[in-house]
Chain A
Amino acid sequence: MTSATAGHPRPVRVEVSGLSKTFGTVKAVSDLGFTVEPGSVTGFLGPNGAGKTTTLRMVLGLIAPDAGRATFDGVPYAALREPVRTVGAVLETAFHPARSGRDHLRVYCRAAGLPVTRADEVLDRVGLTAAGRRRAGGYSLGMRQRLALATALLGDPPVLVLDEPANGLDPEGILWLRGFLRHLAHDEGRTILVSSHLLSEVEQTADRVVIVGAGRLVRQGSIAELREGATGGSVLARSPDADRLAAVLVEAGIAATRSEDGLVTSTGTTPADVGARAFAAGIELHELRAEATGLEDLYFRLTAGQEQFAAGTTAPGATAPGATAATAEGALR
């Protein structure tokens, strides 16, 4: 992934340090720190309930952290002079059902002191012009995501924070969103922090990833760095002489195990290396391939067993803020 080709005129660095939040007895986020470099797309990854939404809401001043801070070029969100012109956020795809999308946008134009014509401009940008005058209550999930994105873009901010923007989108919508985010980042040089529970969702867009599990930082770095760490992906070789192949590999210091059907699984190596050794030893091969995605595998291993609020547990605050919101507002709906 190339990083920003055209820098935004106002690059902003997002810094998070020592962020912690406990809901009741559940530690949703513990001492979390990471940096989002200006002009990069950072994927914020972790299983459901890892504390991603809580973190993003703390970064944006909606939830008060127990400890730690998050700043935009050194300034906490709540102290930003022009928050809407600095950060755009997609956290919520809920709108007043009786208000049209265009009116929704005009409300926030007014509140932020932007000309109301911005409403039509951002509607056009996300391809929602035709539905702009209809009540948001009748919008599909994809249209809601677009309207939320349009709201985030009102102030033309250098930073965008998106919480699971692909959730509930159909394949076509996901494709559109990927392209749009790529455009916002790489053509317009915006800094983007986008959360997801699926690596594949951000793998093609993100330059860097921050992986969290159970509210803690598991790994952060560029996708390339992560790929290097992922060469531990295994190589599968099938041979009628599997025993001898395994022996040859083990002799060469490669961790190889013989499994059923003449299959040899080895790690810490490449298909080319295994193929060369087999050829040199005169061993016949019927199949030789790398185990699919080393990166996905690594992500899975990094976050395995970290879903502290996974479905089925009765921990209060099942998906951290979502659940507190549900209990606080359950009676209100």
Chain B
Amino acid sequence: MTALVRAEWTKLFTTRVWIGLLLGACLMAGGFAALFTGLAGAEPDGGQPGLPAVGTPQYEEVVFSVAANASVLFLILGIIGMTQEYRHRTATPTFLTTPRRGRVVAGKLLAYGAAAVPFALLVLAVVVGVVLVYAGARGAAPSLDADNLRTLGAAGLVLVVFAVIGVGIGALLRNQVGAIVGALVYLYVAEPIISSIGAIQGAYKWLPGGAVQAITSDFQAPDLLEPWQGGLLLLGYGLLAALLGTFLAVRRDVG
């Protein structure tokens, strides 16, 4: 299995996809952190509640959890990692080298889960850097106390699990463009609709998006699970995608 994980790392680091996605994730998370800090405490028109002011624990929880927004790019990383085998037809040599295909998918899940850890740490570092500098300039740099570290850790966990879910989705769907478009539509269209329609709103907390919110922040959210429940649920989704993906990869013909 070590050999397979190392082979996957070689695949990952011998093309430039990871650089682009990691840079994108850093920009996205850093950008959101800056945006939230800039708007913190602002009084918008129309009496809508604004973002909590710099210096409050609510602000700190929100701003340190924005790293989880980059999860979509980690998801895409995982999807590309798996679907590139079918897109570029390298599935043939890959499965010839390792005819027990379940091991190929397992190796990919482990490799991407492990590679996502340093990637996630870098994204978190960018967020912390932006927040410390910008919020400091606005008067109150948050301290990295236990609460804030927990929020950061939760955001990091979300990133890593999404990379694993991506590999599972890729094995499930095999079609790269379809899997990415499908994932984006789900995350940015389907879930928001479900969470905003009263009659089915209750289901939202059981969806991956609801789990992410439960883990990272309960800001502006309807009823959600406890953070640890959300964590378990998200890991469950990762595992489900991985198992289904493995099951199908083993059965389907490679033509």
Contact = CB atoms under 8 A, between A and B. Distances in A.
Interface in B143-177: 174-177
A151 B99 contact: no
Contacts of A107: 7, 10-11, 14
Contacts of B100: 78
A87 B96 CA distance: 9
B127 to A, nearest CB: 30
Interface stretch (A212-220, A307-315, A319-327): A319-327
Interface residues of A, number: 42
A329 B86 contact: yes
Nearest to A333: B87
Contacts, number: 105
Contact of A111 (B3, B87, B174): B3
User: Chain B binding site: helix, strand, loop or mixed by DSSP?
Assistant: helix
Nearest to A148: B93
A83 B97 contact: yes
Contact of B177 (A63, A80, A331): A331
Nearest to A76: B99
Contact of A110 (B7, B83, B84, B96): B7
Interface in A97-123: 97-100, 103-104, 106-108, 110-113
Interface magnitude class on chain B: 35 or more
B86 A332 contact: yes
Nearest to B11: A107
B5 to A, nearest CB: 9
Most chain A C-beta atoms within 10 Å of own C-beta, residue among B83, B86, B251: B86
A252 interface: no
Contacts of A324: 253, 255
B255 A63 contact: yes
B56 interface: no
A112 B88 CA distance: 20
Nearest to A135: B15
B94 interface: yes
B176 A332 contact: yes
B10 A113 contact: no
A206 interface: no
Interface string A291-323: 000000000000000000000000000000110
Contact of B10 (A61, A80, A83, A103): A103
A62 interface: yes
Contacts of B6: 110
Interface in B1-42: 3-4, 6-7, 10-11, 14-17
Interface stretch (A88-96, A227-235, A239-247): A88-96
B7 A111 contact: yes
B92 A99 contact: no
B95 interface: yes
Most chain B C-beta atoms within 10 Å of own C-beta, residue among A57, A87, A92, A324: A92
Given A332-B83, A332-B86, A62 B96 contact: yes
B99 A108 contact: no
B3 A325 contact: no
6 contacts: A57-B253, A64-B251, A83-B98, A94-B89, A328-B255, A329-B174
Interface of A: 57, 60-64, 77-80, 83-84, 87, 89, 91-92, 94-100, 103-104, 106-108, 110-113, 151, 321-322, 324-325, 328-329, 331-333
Given A98-B15, A98-B17, 16 more contacts: A57-B255, A63-B253, A83-B97, A87-B96, A89-B96, A91-B96, A94-B90, A100-B14, A103-B14, A108-B97, A111-B3, A111-B4, A112-B3, A329-B86, A329-B175, A332-B86
Interface of B: 3-4, 6-7, 10-11, 14-17, 83-84, 86-90, 92-100, 174-178, 251, 253-255
